[in-house]
Chain A
Amino acid sequence: MSLQIIPPDINIDFVGKRHFFVGLSTLINLAALILLFTVGLNYGVDFSGGSLVQLDFTRATNGDQIRHALAPLGLGEITVQDFGKTGFEYLLRFEKVRRIKSLGADIDSALAKAYGPNVGKVVRVESVGAKVSKDLKRDAIGAVVIATIFMGMFIAWQFRRVSWSFGTGAVIALVHDVLVVTCALVLSRLQFDLTTLAALLTVIGYSVHDTIIVSDRIREDAAKRRRESLASVMNRAINETLSRTILTSGTAIVVLIALLALGGPILRPSAFTLLVGFITGTYSSIYIAGPVVLFWESRVKVKPQSARAA
């Protein structure tokens, strides 16, 4: 036998402590909802519209100097954000799309005037009009909702023999994960744009993926041990898959840390989203998905040993 992180005979009472963790998660989720509707996400131009310009400098500068250099253009209010290498890279944000035909060229020439030739240059321009950003927002919400519904239905079907409520459990675990990630994004003020959305959808995929792995073991054990209560089968399955859960999440987290540290500033929001999402996704398949199934079962008074047909 080679290395082992989790001893094979481990038996932690996960299911017994479910009330505490469900309570905790509910609080976090409520906080996330409040944050989402009060502070709100830091939407990128994709969803809020407007223009974004990335500048590269060959010598260090600061936000005031940049504002000063661009003042003659009369572009109105500019948000300047240090981006990546301190002092050398900056992001400019304009609330409204400005001069879509010549923004980049205008800024280039204004920088050349203020800093001298070839010191600062525009390396990226993104302008999204109000109509497109509205469409993108609608499509984004559509994608999240449809993905959630489809996966909920798929899981409910796949685990119908143990209990139809696995679909509900997975969907609630998934909503929980999305809310936790949203909360982290609100607090970190990282930009929420199309790339971040892709990461969020990946989190949904992973959350369900992880829930399925644990539920699969419950399905298998439930078929073998028909006399045991569902709670006890569930706890056994979680323990049996614990080693795998820790290993997989561990390696995924290592990869994501590499992405976060080395992937550059453009990938940072999505790497962060994935990292938080994978951690909470792992947590929720242990502490949220199972308890929801148990709660549902006890509410509708179905016998715990409902695995007859398996």
Chain B
Amino acid sequence: METGQSFAPILIILSIAVAVLYLHLTGGSGKTRLYLAALLTGVALLLLVPSFDSSLPQWWSDYLPTPRIQLGLDLQGGTHLLLGVKLDDAVKSQLSRRGDDLKTELTQNKIPFDSIGLNSDGALMVRLKSADERDAFLNLIQQSAPDLTISSVSSPGAPTYALNFKPEQIAETKRNAMDQAVETIRNRIDQLGVRETTVMREGSDEILVQLPGIQDPERAKELIGKTAVLEFKLVDDSHSVADALKNGPPPGDEILYGPPRPGGRTPYLVEKPTLMTGDTVTDARVRPGGRLEGPYVTVDLNQRGAQIFDAITGQNVGRRLAIILDNTVYSAPVIKERIPGGHVQITGQFSFEEAHDLAIVLRSGSLPAPVEIEEERTVGPSLGRDSIRQGELSFVVGAAAVLIFMAVYYSGAGILADYGLTLNILLLVCVMAALQATLTLPGIAGIVLTLGMSVDANVLVNERMREELRNGKTPREAVKIGYERAWSAIRDSNISTFVAGLILFQFGTGPVKGFAVTLCVGVLTGLFSCVVVTRAWYDYLIASRKLKTISV
């Protein structure tokens, strides 16, 4: 769960609640306020149980909410990845496909052209045979290609046009590519079998992936990063691969390599045109295979894919068909006969894991654009446990020192302050659990800071009460004036800390966000438990005449 979406509104509601409570509670009698405080404490404790005891009876989870404190990846271990999607590449490949369509249209309309292709700036360059076809070409573009604009023309002799998508078309392509990328990566991650993963869009071109408790981050990264473009091309057996390696491939051919194997990567000489791509794949499964060839992957194609595959294999019996994934030739079997029905086998001396991951990426579809890992944070589970232990230890020692000091220095009032501090920590953890906020290592530092701030509230009040008592005021007056005078300072300082927390939340990422959440929640719970609740106790004790003098 990300805290991002639900955090702000809940926080606003909480702040209003605290403000209302404060105004209301200072009005009512001491006793009602105490009951209210006790009720809240009870609810808080109840909400906290699931965080510490996971073996709850059935009736509990049936009738009561079971929020748990979410541990950040720095505490429970896991991998955080920020992926950048190269959306410009998605636009380029879309434009390149558009170029292929345009070729067909030009041929159909009998407009002769020299060449159509992308230039290095990513524009689609169209070079006509002669200036005579200019008007026919411009007409065609205007009528049948409303998504394209002509951005520049150079025409000594044969006119050349640079075509681009219109801005709104580019924006839409990018939007679609982003949606598809998020969806594809989510599909792949889901099949890793890791619980509570997050795949979320960040900004316009980034994807955040969080994999808590993952054992093998390298495999996940490998799986996510695969563009997974499946292509079928014919192997050119009429030329020798050795020659092509020495002198460059013959025109219309290219050299591609097999997967890395102990004996090196096998080079293949293949013809450039792609006969078919993997966008018609409906399913891909691992098959165990025999002892010699090892596991292989079977791929099912949809009807259109099956038709194309049928035609390709029918026309090229006896030739070798290269099965290419992300420019790596996995196998190049000889086509023995026409293959109808749309079932393709990919063999390639895979390990079982390789075959399994290959099936996953084929099933989840290809990424519309390459992704790049821009940020990685991986924390091993043992380090996470160490961090929790150290965080807890420093917190317990620090808190104990403060509680003892307050009790010794302020005696009776100090013990009441300690009650407020303890309640604050309980409420803070409880609200964090209810918000499903994430507790990070900086978050623990935030709790420590919260503790310091609520100590300050108590110190301010107690110092004021001492002053008033010294000036000869009665306990009742001292409490009233003490809280009232201290309030303006407590209010202003807490507001400023709260504002700092909100800004931190807005700008921060990951662990810093966790810290900001803790800080903001801590300010609110601190105000409640260390001002409202302790005040209620004083009022109650004085009103019921149990307290004749104040030891402060």
Contact = CB atoms under 8 A, between A and B. Distances in A.
Interface of A: 1-3, 8, 54, 56, 100-102, 104-105, 121-129, 131-132, 136, 139-140, 142-143, 146-147, 150-151, 154-155, 158, 194-195, 197-199, 201-202, 204-206, 208-210, 212-213, 216-217, 219-220, 240-241, 243-244, 247-248, 251-252, 254-256, 258-259, 261-264, 266-267, 270-271, 274
B131 interface: no
B460 A205 contact: no
15 contacts: A8-B470, A132-B374, A194-B508, A198-B515, A202-B519, A209-B453, A216-B492, A240-B467, A244-B460, A248-B460, A251-B455, A252-B455, A255-B452, A264-B386, A267-B394
Contact of B398 (A158, A198, A259): A259
A101 B222 contact: yes
Contacts, number: 236
Nearest 4 A/B pairs, CB to CB: A264-B390, A255-B398, A258-B398, A143-B507
Interface string B488-506: 1100111111011101101
B551 interface: yes
B218 interface: yes
Given A216-B489, A261-B394, A56 B452 contact: no
B379 A123 contact: yes
Contacts of B455: 248, 251-252
A244 B459 contact: yes
A110 B506 CA distance: 41
Given A8-B467, A212-B493, 20 more contacts: A1-B466, A100-B376, A104-B378, A139-B509, A143-B503, A146-B507, A150-B503, A194-B512, A202-B445, A206-B449, A209-B497, A217-B489, A247-B459, A252-B456, A258-B397, A259-B395, A262-B393, A263-B445, A267-B394, A274-B445
Interface in B416-469: 441-442, 444-446, 448-449, 451-453, 455-456, 459-460, 463, 466-467
Contact of A127 (B376, B459, B515): B376
Contacts of A216: 488-489, 492
Contacts of B395: 258-259
B253 to A, nearest CB: 30
- Listed residue (A102, A216, A256) with the most chain B CB atoms within 10 angstroms of its CB: A216
- Listed residue (A150, A202, A262) with the most chain B CB atoms within 10 angstroms of its CB: A202
A149 B406 CA distance: 35
Nearest to A201: B504
B405 A147 contact: no
Contacts of A146: 503, 507
B397 A150 contact: no
A262 B394 contact: yes
A56 B408 CA distance: 43
A212 B489 contact: yes
B218 A105 contact: yes
Nearest to B414: A2
B376 A195 contact: no
Nearest to A106: B218
B391 interface: yes
Interface string B218-260: 1001100100000000000000000000000000000000000
A268 to B, nearest CB: 10
Given A147-B504, A197-B512, A213-B460, A126 B496 contact: no
B225 to A, nearest CB: 6
A123 B442 contact: no
A248 B454 CA distance: 10
Contacts of B511: 194-195, 198
B391 A205 contact: no
B376 A208 contact: no
Main secondary structure of the interface of A (DSSP, over half): helix
B217 interface: yes
B84 interface: yes
Given A132-B82, A251-B405, A143 B504 contact: yes
Contacts of B504: 143, 147, 198, 201
B398 A243 contact: no
Contacts of A139: 507-509
Given A140-B507, A194-B509, A256-B448, A264 B387 contact: yes
B375 interface: yes
B142 to A, nearest CB: 39
A100 B376 CA distance: 8
Interface in B133-182: none
B499 A195 contact: no
Given A100-B373, A101-B373, A252 B508 contact: no
Contacts of B516: 198
B380 interface: yes
Given A125-B377, A251-B402, A252-B452, A104 B217 contact: yes
B447 to A, nearest CB: 10
A258 B516 CA distance: 21
Contacts of A124: 377-380, 383
Contacts of A127: 373, 375-377
A201 B506 CA distance: 13
B492 A212 contact: yes
Interface in B361-413: 372-380, 382-383, 386-387, 390-391, 393-395, 397-399, 401-402, 405-406, 408-411
Contacts of A197: 512
B485 interface: yes
Given A121-B380, A194-B510, A262 B397 contact: yes
A143 B383 contact: no
Interface string B82-120: 101000000000000000000000000000000000000
B415 to A, nearest CB: 12
Contacts of A1: 466
Given A8-B467, A216-B488, A267 B441 contact: yes
Given A209-B453, A263-B391, A154 B512 contact: no
Contacts of B386: 264
A209 B499 CA distance: 11
A190 B223 CA distance: 36
Contacts of A217: 489
A163 to B, nearest CB: 15
B496 A258 contact: no
B551 A2 contact: yes
Given A212-B493, A244-B463, A151 B398 contact: no
- Listed residue (B375, B463, B511) with the most chain A CB atoms within 10 angstroms of its CB: B375
Contacts of B45: none
Contact of A263 (B221, B376, B390): B390
B542 interface: no
B218 A101 contact: yes
Nearest to A143: B507
Nearest to B388: A264
Contacts of A198: 442, 445-446, 504, 508, 511-512, 515-516
Contacts of B409: 2-3, 247
B493 A208 contact: yes
A64 B182 CA distance: 43
Contacts of A205: 496-497, 500-501, 519
B334 interface: no
B503 to A, nearest CB: 5
Given A100-B221, A101-B222, A56 B390 contact: no
A92 B104 CA distance: 56
A128 B84 CA distance: 12
Contacts of B499: 147, 150-151, 154
A212 B497 CA distance: 11
B82 A255 contact: no
A274 B445 CA distance: 10
A130 B378 CA distance: 18
